[in-house]
Amino acid sequence: MGRRVRRLIWGGLKVALIAAIAASGVWWLRFAPVRVDVHQVETGTIIDEVMGTGSLEAHVRAAVGPRITGRLATVLVDQGDRVTGGQLVATLYDGDLRQRVEIAKAELAVARAGVEVAAAAIVRAEANAVHARTSFMRVEPLAAQQVLSSDELDLAAQQRDLAEADLRLAQLAKVESEHVVVKATEGLRYDQERLADTRIVAPFDALVVKRDREPGDVVVPGGTIIDVVSTEELWISAWVDETALGRLAPGQPARIVFRSAPDTSIVGTVVRLAPQTDAETRELLIDVALSELPATWAIGQRAEIYVETERREDVLVLPQQLIVWQKGVPRVLVDDAGVARWKDVVLGLRGADTVEVIRGVVAGESVILIADGSTTPREGRQLRRAQP
């Protein structure tokens, strides 16, 4: 009998112990203060930005090549060199063209001499014509008086007509010689221009970004020897989603982050918007001018641009990670005198990491930080703030 009582008492103690442990667990899970981190609501600046990805491009760019077909004699600049407008950058072999220029000069000299010969022939023909006309005028009255025969009159008239025809031929010969001079002059000018085309110069002050040819290569019109860009206007040409079109305009400030220097932002300005979107990606191309260049850069290098479309000062801001969406309604969990309380909020402008809160909380209020994967305290739960 005593043994049975002891067993009953021992069993009751174990049940009581288990019940106490369970009650303690329930209390701990449902009623014990939860340790939380909080964020104080404060005023600040919120910036709305449109992000795009693009590359560094030159607004003024040129492919420098020959105007005539030829073999390269020299290439005087290389990638990375700076050139000035009109600077000699390459030459073609010009021996045959120099010879043609000399031949053209000799042909011009011959043509000019022909003009002088024609002029002298005119002087001679004019003298013969004057003599023939004078002779005819002397013979004509004598023939009328029948002092001379009609045959002698006809001979004088014939000599007069021949002399005048010779004068006309001499004059036409001079005109022809002058035309030959014009042709020879143009031929010489053409050959001189072709000779000048063997000297290839930079079109403007620029930086050489690429060299495509070497001495000895045969080049043709339209081919490229070097690529040059003006460093006065370097832009970021970036693609942004077409949905942002209504928020973009020339003159808006922007910040530029090169992938080669992700921790550094460069100030820029939107220069222009393309009037057409890509048919496949539905993106819009915009050009952003840089206020400065990074220490090292390369045409075509990638960068992200962030165009500031709106800015609001002295507004309530919260990190976006503190906003919890429940059934389409934005809410925050606040520390209300040590108790967890849900509050509906009205959101405004959204920035990169923060969001404007128009209504629902006030400055100085404590919003509970809900980390990813953590258990959200239920409303009404006692809170205990984590030690800083």
Distance of CA 356 to the CA centre of its chain: 36
At 253 the pLDDT is 95
Query: At which residue do the structure tokens 């950058």 appear?
Result: 89
At 160 the pLDDT is 84
At 26 the pLDDT is 46
293 CB-side CA count, 13 A:
14
At 38 the pLDDT is 82
User: The domain that contains 178 carries what CATH number?
Assistant: 1.10.287.620
Indicate if 167 and 258 belong to the same structural domain.
no
Strands 383-385 and 34-36: parallel
Residue 31 lies in a domain: no
At 85 the pLDDT is 94
The model's pTM: 0.63
Indicate if 99 and 190 belong to the same structural domain.
yes
At 17 the pLDDT is 60
- Environment class of 362 (CB within 10 Å of its CB; exposed 0-12, middle 13-18, buried 19+): exposed
Residue 42 lies in a domain: no
Residue 190 has which token pair? 């053409």
At 98 the pLDDT is 94
Dihedral-angle region of residue 99 (phi above 0 means left; psi in -120 to 50 means alpha; beta otherwise): alpha
Which residue among 147, 178, 196 closes a domain?
A: 196
* Residue span of the structural domain in which 207 resides: 61-92+198-228
Integer Cα distance of 255 and 289 in angstroms: 10
Residue 240 lies in a domain: yes
User: The domain that contains 215 carries what CATH number?
Assistant: 2.40.50.100
Residue 126 has which token pair? 């004019």
At 43 the pLDDT is 92
Residue 286 lies in a domain: yes
Residue ranges of the chain with per-residue pLDDT less than 70: 1-34, 148, 370-376, 384-388
Output the CA–CA distances (angstroms, integers) from residue 71 to 17, 65, 214, in the order listed: 102, 12, 10
